[in-house]
Amino acid sequence: MRLIIAEKPSMARAIAAALPGAPRKQEGAIAAGDTLVTWCLGHLLEQAPPDAYDPALKQWRLDTLPILPERWKLTPRPKARGQLAVIRRLLKQAREVVHAGDPDREGQLLVQEVIEHLGWKGPVLRLLVSDLNRPAVQRALARLEDNARYRPLYRAAECRARADWLYGINLTRAWTLTGRQAGHDGVLSVGRVQTPVLGLVVRRDAEIRDFTPRPFFVLWADLAVAQGRLRAWWAPGEGHPLDDQGRLLERAPAATLAERLPGAEGRLTALATQEKRQPAPLPYSLSALQVDAARRYGLSAKAVLDTCQALYERHQLITYPRSDCRYLPEEHFAAARATLEGACRADDTLSRWLAGADFSRRSRAWNDKQVGAHHALAPTGRHMEPARLSATEANVYRLIARNVLAQFYPALSTREVKAEFTILDERFRARGQEILEAGWKPLFTTRDEAPPLPPLTEGEACRVDETGVEDRETRPPEPFTDASLIKAMMNIARYVEDPAVRRTLREHDGLGTEATRAGIIETLVERGYLVRRAKALRATRLGSALIASLPEAAGRPERTALWEQRLSAIAEATAEPAPFLAELVEDLRRLLAHADAAGLKRALAEARGEEAQAAPARGTRRGGRSRTLNQSAKGSRRATQRRTS
């Protein structure tokens, strides 16, 4: 008997439906011919708690840190024992096992750790399914691989789990215990990904809080030219008081010039035109979709992930969603027309876009060299029934389908014009854009980026009709939102100060993974470190104090981004886990030496004062601060038994 172990029941049902013979349900499995398909329920196993290694470690004490297991143990999750028993029984009957976890690092770990924990010594094949529709699953079943090929991926995932345990357990215990000494009653959870993400928000909030606006002034002039009118902006020279971005810091020079300009004549002294062709945006990775869906529909990152899971599992309308890839396999190109016709016909908007697609076009999206274990999100071709989808599901589905449809549209072709006028020996600049061919752009927006300028000829005369001086102020950075925080996590090198590390990270950008970023944000909210105010994500007093009390390196992204590099090297079989874990232990010892109750007490007091100072400015309602603190404590207590990554 062949036993296929899927990651979850929905995957098992899809696999069973694609096998020869009528599926027959059994206890914890589905039979089809000589094959049984069973499933995990997400992770059936988890890292054992410290007291599994030594009962004395159940009590939290600083003198027992760091906790360093000599031989790692896994333990069944509380609700997983029944299904684990089913798999154990079925393994005794099997002649061959097929690993059918999701096609990513965690999917490899989730099923393989069960197979190894239960002591299976026989052959294991690997089934990679990224589309739950029957034809796609049948194609995947015809291409089974030796699971040994994916052992480095499993070792990387196992190493990640152990490293997260070491980092989270030891630092969480250390800061919780020093927090008690400082007067804080609750768990202070520290993790190698969640804490740097919190640090991003805390530092952004501090920039906003400490920002001092500075006035600057701009002068515009409406010009009459041979074939129309345009607005140009004064470019003051070095003799004027300017900041490092060339902004005028005093109003007097602009006001004086504005009085002299009406009726003045000048000439167009420099004219530059450039035609550009911009290909369609690539199909989505999960994070790219989360950014766009947050901006367009105000959805949280978790809401987008949950919606994608429903579209993938329940409705089977899209391919595997937890993907970090924005490219599609070349073999999918031939079937793209049929796939998109099936996916888009029932929706008015999508069918209108479908009618404009030219399926003879082949964009840069079809590229096997850019496709790893999984490809970009795409429609499966299954018939969409709008009545069965919620409004959010329909909106997210349209975004996914749109970005694939856009690959069959022409490039956006524009002509950009930059003009410089000389009037009264001063320079005035204008720029505009003309759309030559809209291409894919109408699928995304009907708004022009910049209005076109009238036809211009270098050397032609101009005359000033009207002028105006505008008083402006520099603005603080915007607070993080779900969209901008996900984007920051995707492009973390931008927030790294060390130039050498920043250069290294550009090829391996990313804090967290496609599968975890949404959960990290929600975890920080649940634990009381972040709070949502409208669309903004702001740090609470507790979150700010935690970052202030930690060594700076623990709240910055460099460490965890470099971790991902090392884990990628392990997954690619170019590095071993042991040296990485040994270096982590030494790093932990240095971090633990910074646990200081006095410093944490001071940080809590300072954060309390900063929050009280900021509350009137942001219109906090009476009693609002106490609610935030209560939520923080409640969230911290819930964190006690959670994984702290």
Q: What is the pLDDT of residue 568?
A: 85
Structural domain ending residue among the three candidates 473, 502, 521: 473
For 296-305, the pLDDT digits (tens) are 999 999 999 9
Where are the strands (E) in 540-615, listed by range? none
Domain CATH number, residue 257 = 2.70.20.10
Q: Which residue has the tokens 């950009």?
A: 416
Residue written as tokens 């490092």?
244
CA distance 591 to 145: 43
| Same domain (yes/no): 69, 192 | no
Of 408, 435, 460, the residue at which a domain comes to its end is: 408
Task: Quote the pLDDT of residue 493.
Answer: 81
pTM of the predicted structure, to 2 decimals: 0.83
pLDDT at 163 over 60: yes
Residues 465 and 492 in one domain: no
Please list, residue by residue across 401-417, b when 16 or more beta carbons sit within 10 angstroms of its beta carbon and e when fewer do: bbbbbbbbbbbbbbebb
Q: What is the pLDDT of residue 634?
A: 38
Of 408, 430, 457, which marks where a domain is finished?
Answer: 408
Active site residues: 320
What pLDDT is stored for residue 620 in this prediction? 38
Query: pLDDT value at position 621?
Result: 35
For 421-439, what is the mean pLDDT? 96
Note whether 417 and 534 are same-domain residues. Answer: no
Question: For tokens 């000494």, what's the residue?
Answer: 181
555 and 431 part of one domain: no
**Each residue's pLDDT tens digit, 81-101:** 999 999 999 999 999 999 999
From 6-10, 59-63, 231-235, 453-457, the region with the lowest mean pLDDT: 6-10
For the chain, how many structural domains are there in total?
4
pLDDT > 60? residue 276: yes
CATH number at residue 584: 1.10.460.10
Distance, CA of 567 to CA of 156 (rounded, Å): 5
What average pLDDT does this structure show over 500-508? 66
- The per-residue pLDDT of the chain, averaged, comes to 90
Contact 272, 417 (CB under 8 A): yes
pLDDT tens per residue, range 41-60: 889 999 999 999 999 999 99
**Angle, alpha carbons 323-326-328 (nearest 5°):** 95
My answer on whether 436 and 486 are in the same domain is: no
**Position 613 confidence tier, pLDDT thresholds 50, 70, 90:** low
Are 321 and 420 members of one domain?
no
Q: Are 201 and 144 contained in the same domain?
A: no
Output the domain CATH number for residue 344.
Answer: 1.10.290.10
- Residue 632 pLDDT exceeds 60: no
* Same domain, residue pair 499 and 625: yes
Q: Token pair of 187, please?
A: 């768990």
What is the CATH number for 16?
A: 3.40.50.140
Confidence category of residue 624, pLDDT binned at 50, 70, 90: very low
Looking at the fold, whether 382 and 347 belong to one and the same domain comes out as yes
Across 334-348, 506-520, 550-564, least confident range? 506-520
How far is it, in rounded angstroms, from Cα 38 to Cα 47? 23
- Clarify whether residues 506 and 548 are in a common domain: yes
Co-location of 19 and 107 in the same domain: yes
Q: Are 489 and 625 members of one domain?
A: yes
Q: Domain span at residue 544?
A: 158-210+478-641
